[in-house]
Structure 1
Amino acid sequence: MKTIYLVRHGQTFINRYDKMQGWCDTPLTEQGIAGAKNAGKELANVDFDIAISSDLKRASDTCEYIIEENINRNELQHIATPFFREQFYGFFEGMNSDEAWRMIGGGHGYPRREDLFTHVDIDTVKDYMKEADPYHDAEDAQEYWKRVDKGFEMIKQMEGADKILLVSHGFTIRSIVSRFAPGQYNLAHGPQNASITILKMDDEGKINVDSYNKMTLDA
């Protein structure tokens, strides 16, 4: 049984300005660096066997801050991979979030993102996004999961890696929780920056969600 400590990266400038941030990238803010370090302190005594992150800098940097605090920091290998990148938003990258979600959901009767995520499952939201993208570059659900599933297969094949640090992104974490714990958590809003979500993976690769969007392991 593998335990995956799934952490959202620290706050970035685009997060601060409430803009769409998928594959586009901006640095961590001072608050984001502090959040990453706090997550590291919370996870300091978890003797991780491997550290994995999205290859986007905000996630990779957050992972490094967490590693610096860890009991295994001198031995811990960090793998940065595109498998656990954020959803690619295509045309909507960098756009004001409210404006983007109005374009994505408005044609389906959901001009507000809270209504969209309350009433529509996340995979359908992905399909709406590709449909609304004038260039159709945004990932739909099939494209997205083809990529992310490669990441989980990689983790499944890691012999001897029982405690895994995985640093990823808000919409990706929300998507994973929606898929493996449908209806169990309120996903109208995404996880907080630097929050911790815990997954369990059995030997066959089946995933369960133990907890979602916690700032401390004791919460």
Structure 2
Amino acid sequence: MDVITFNLYVVRHGQTYFNVYNRLQGWSDAPLTDKGISGAEKTAEKLANMHFTAAYCSDTTRAMKTAKIILDKNTADSVKEPTVSSYLRGEFYGYYEGSDLEQSWYAAGAPHGLPTFKDIVSKYSLGKAMDFLKEADPFHQAESNEEYWKRWDQGLDLIRKDKNIHDGDDVLLISHANAVLGLVERFGEGKYDVTEPPANGSLTKLEVSDDQVKVVDYNIQ
């Protein structure tokens, strides 16, 4: 069987109320703000002439709404509806879902002498930040790095096995800040700064084949 390679255009969803309030938002489902909707519309305009053979998003309101805005404005005879999957959610923050972002990462990193998210990722990795947050969670229900990637690998396999996708095709994925960071950290060969989240509505381009993923562009606004 021939190996196919396709382009995966990963868009972070539009701004939500939890983004405004600076709260952790993994499986929480805050809606888009007016700015988030207009930002998604601007991203949609940039992608309006691109033909997407397939589209994917998580089952969160913010991701599905962003996907609908982009696909509704598309003029290149793209797929009309995204495939929705819980595999493609961002990290589950457990006890810290909806909590103040800085305070949550302080709780995770301070026991290790690292009081901020940036400190943790700079010294270790995004994966280690996930592990520290799980340790700090009194219920230990936040996802560890291993648990997160076990789920996300199923999401990537779901896309790879889409029989509608052929060599050279363009595919849309609406995703989340830490999900984008995770993809870039894992497959970006250390070329990109993953201590700061990508902007809402930003675009990250990956080349995906059966056996590898390559980061081509990151956080394009």
TM-score category, normalised to shorter length: over 0.9
Alignment partner, residue 57 of structure 2? 53
Are 2:121 and 1:114 aligned? no
Q: Specify which of 187, 207, 214 is matched with residue 194 of structure 2.
A: 187
The residue that corresponds to 2:214 in the other structure is 208
Write out aligned runs for 1:64-75 (5 A). 64-72=68-76, 75=79
| Residues in 2 aligned to 1:73 and 1:129: alpha-carbon distance in whole angstroms | 43
Q: Which residue of 1 aligns with 2:32?
A: 28
Gaps of 5+ in 2: none
**Who is 1:176 aligned against?**
183
Deviations 1:31-70 (A, max 9, x none): 1001111111111111001111011110110010011111
Q: Distance in 2 between matches of 1:182 and 1:128?
A: 23
1:135 aligns to 2:139 (yes or no): yes
Q: Is the 8 A contact 2:55 2:79 kept in 1?
A: no
Between the aligned partners of 1:117 and 1:74, the Cα distance in structure 2 is 37
1:182 is displaced (CA, Å) by 3.3
Give the drift of 1:113: 2.0
8 Å Cα contact 2:72-2:80 kept in structure 1: no
Deviations 1:83-123 (A, max 9, x none): 11010000111111110010011111111222122222111
Q: Secondary structure of the equivalent of 1:192? A: coil
CA distance in 2, matches of 1:108, 1:214: 33
Question: What does 1:9-28 align with in structure 2 at a 5 Å threshold?
Answer: 9-28=13-32
CA distance in structure 2 between the aligned counterparts of 1:74 and 1:24, rounded to whole angstroms: 29
Which string of whole-angstrom CA distances, capped at 9 and with x for unpartnered residues, describes residues 146-191 of structure 1? 1100111111111242211000100010011000013110111010
Q: How many Å separate the matches in 1 of 2:20 and 2:183?
A: 24
Task: Quote the offset at 1:75 in angstroms.
Answer: 4.3
Q: Give the secondary structure class of the aligned counterpart of 2:105.
A: helix
For residues 120-148 of structure 1, give each alpha carbon's deviation from its aligned partner in whole angstroms, at most 9, with x where no partner exists: 21111111111110000000011101110
Inter-partner Cα distance in structure 2 for 1:160 and 1:85: 23
Unaligned runs of 5+ in 1: none
Whether the 8 Å CA contact 2:87–2:151 is kept in 1: the answer is: yes
The aligned length equals: 214
Change (3 A) 1:197 1:75: closer
Structure-2 separation of matches of 1:12 and 1:28: 4
In structure 2, C-alpha distance between the alignment counterparts of 1:102 and 1:48, rounded to whole Å: 41
2:158 paired with 1:154: yes
Distance 1:92 1:75 in 2: 36
